[in-house]
Amino acid sequence: MSQKHQTPERPRLLLIGANGQVGWELRRTLAGLGEVVAASLEGEYGPSIDLMDPQSLARLVDEARPDAVINAAAYTAVDRAEQDRDSARRINAEAVGELGVLLAKRAVPVVHYSTDFVFSGTLGRPYTEDDQPDPLNVYGETKLVGERALLDSGARALVFRTSWVYGARGANFLLTMRRLFAERDELRVVDDQIGSPTWSRMLAEMTAQVLYRVLRGELDLDEVGGLYHLTGGGEVSWYGFACAILEACGEGCNLTPIPSSEYPAPAPRPAYSVLDNGRFERTFGLAMPHWRDSLVQCLEELD
Ligand SMILES: NC(=O)C1=CN([C@@H]2O[C@H](COP(=O)(O)OP(=O)(O)OC[C@H]3O[C@@H](n4cnc5c(N)ncnc54)[C@H](OP(=O)(O)O)[C@@H]3O)[C@@H](O)[C@H]2O)C=CC1
Ligand SMILES: Cc1cn([C@H]2C[C@H](O)[C@@H](COP(=O)(O)OP(=O)(O)O[C@H]3O[C@@H](C)C(=O)[C@@H](O)[C@H]3O)O2)c(=O)[nH]c1=O
């Protein structure tokens, strides 16, 4: 393995995907750790990066000369990925492997995110990192290839598998429900997919806390690098989550629980994709709040 990278007093943190819902939170949270180079597809906050183009990635890493990289970019349109497999594979899998190779050479640590959708959801108990992935859809397949490519690249990497991310911006279930509650008298929501909603803010904060210790040399990625499950605490169905949002918003909309068969979509979704956060909690001594507590906090900020 390559020599360790020497981290300066004020490290340069290259954030890829700065305009996504997690990236947007990271931009602020990471600012406490050093200088953030916030790269995004359109270059709104810094350099532009198109993960479809391998040269664009190599150029960015060369020019940014980062002390750490956080990759929050991904192809996240789960249904669209079924028809657009090549783009999903390029962004979620190939580019992530290439990033790993670039950073392994430079011995620069990297944080990356993956998904509960690497699992089929048939196990019937929360998945641990040792459980065998078996994705049901193209998005999950490509994310799985990406996480493996990064971990196999020799880069010092942390891969956080999270789930059901929502927050104050971006395309997410919380914002969709709030919009629909205002527009409709009735909504039908699937009640047979169970998971753990995760507030993007908490994911960003946990990332920053761990990365802070890595950059200060308190945590050695040769020892603690690897795959971790990191989601909001507890579990709920999409219907249950919608009910909690409705209750908090105080809108008058009728919610009806339905099976997934009555909400046909191009990509099949896992039925029970709750992740067990135990390894993360034991390794880093940190715990994610329960999804209900995070929801209340997030909504307070939105109102
Ligand atoms: N959302 C969720 O429920 C979950 C997300 N995750 C994972 O968490 C991470 C963050 O996801 P999240 O913030 O929710 O996703 P978003 O879709 O909100 O953000 C993804 C970002 O990636 C950018 N992007 C897409 N294509 C390219 C490209 N070709 N080149 C450069 N950037 C590109 C998008 O750019 P633009 O803004 O211009 O479109 C967007 O800003 C991802 O790895 C995702 O797989 C895991 C589990 C659940
Ligand atoms: C809008 C709406 C959705 N639904 C259902 C569809 C779907 O099964 C569920 C959630 O819909 P969404 O399209 O928001 O979410 P979906 O694309 O399934 O979300 C996934 O995204 C990727 C990126 C991940 O990594 C996963 O962890 C997960 O968050 O709610 C209803 O039942 N009724 C509705 O009115």
Above 90 in pLDDT, residue 302? no
pLDDT tens, residue by residue, 253-270:
899 999 999 999 999 999
Residue 127: CB within 6 Å of ligand 2? no
Architecture of the domain delimited by 12-171+198-232+275-288? 3-Layer(aba) Sandwich (3.40)
Q: Is 190 in the pocket of ligand 2 (CB under 6 A)?
A: yes
Residue located nearest, by CA, to atom 28 of ligand 2:
164
Q: How far apart are CA 13 and CA 276, in angstroms?
A: 29
Which residues make Cβ contacts (< 8 Å) with residue 300, sequence separation at least 6?
Answer: none
Compute the distance from residue 90 Cα to the ligand 2 centre, in Å. 23
Ligand nearest to the CA of 175: 2
Q: Whose CA is closest to atom 11 on ligand 2?
A: 173
Distance CA 244, CA 239 (A): 9
Tell me the C-alpha to C-alpha distance, in Å, between residue 4 and each of 59, 67, 212, 232.
22, 11, 16, 33
Average pLDDT estimate for 65-82: 97
Residue 180 Cα: closest atom of ligand 2: 35
Report the pLDDT value the prediction gives residue 8, as an integer from 0 to 100.
78
Task: Give the pairing of strands 194-195 and 236-237.
Answer: antiparallel
- CA 147 → CA 14, 66, 165, 207, distances in Å? 19, 21, 18, 17
Please give the helix or strand (H or E) that residue 195 lies within, else none: strand 194-195
pLDDT at res. 7: 82
Q: Is the dihedral of CA 42, 44, 49, 52 positive or negative?
A: negative
**112-144, pLDDT tens digit by residue?**
999 999 999 999 999 999 999 999 999 999 999
Side chain identity, residue 152: D
Catalytic residue among 75, 127, 139, 166: 139
Would the CB of 138 count as within 6 Å of ligand 2? Answer: no
pLDDT at 167 over 70: yes
The confidence score (pLDDT) of residue 250 equals 75
Report pLDDT digits (tens) over 37-61: 999 999 999 999 999 998 999 999 9
How many A from CA of 76 to the centre of ligand 1?
A: 5
ipTM tops the 0.95 cut? yes
Q: Measured from the CA of 140, which atom of ligand 2 is nearest?
A: 25
How far apart (Å, rounded) are the C-alpha atoms in residues 18 and 264? 32
| Mean pLDDT score of the chain | 95
Closest ligand by atom to 165 CA:
1
- What is the arithmetic mean of pLDDT over 234-238? 98
Q: What is the DSSP letter of 82?
A: T
Q: Which of 128, 117, 114, 118 is nearest to 275 (CA)?
A: 128
pLDDT for residue 2 is more than 60: no
CB 173 within 8 A of CB 164: yes
**Best CA proximity match to 91, nearest among 54, 134, 130, 45:** 54
Residues in the chain: 303
Instruction: Describe the chain by its helix, strand, coil percentages, rounded to 5.
Output: 45, 20, 40
pLDDT of 3: 65
Lowest model confidence (mean pLDDT) among 214-223, 245-254, 268-277, 287-296: 245-254
- Whether 127 is catalytic is no
Place of tokens 């783009």: 87
**Percentage of the chain surpassing pLDDT 90?**
91
Residue 29 has pLDDT above 70, yes or no: yes
Task: Name the residue at shortest CA distance from atom 3 of ligand 2.
Answer: 189
pTM, rounded to two decimals: 0.96
The domains of the chain are located at 12-171+198-232+275-288
Residue 1: pLDDT above 70? no
Would you say residue 251 has pLDDT above 80? no
Confidence at residue 21, expressed as pLDDT on a 0 to 100 scale? 96
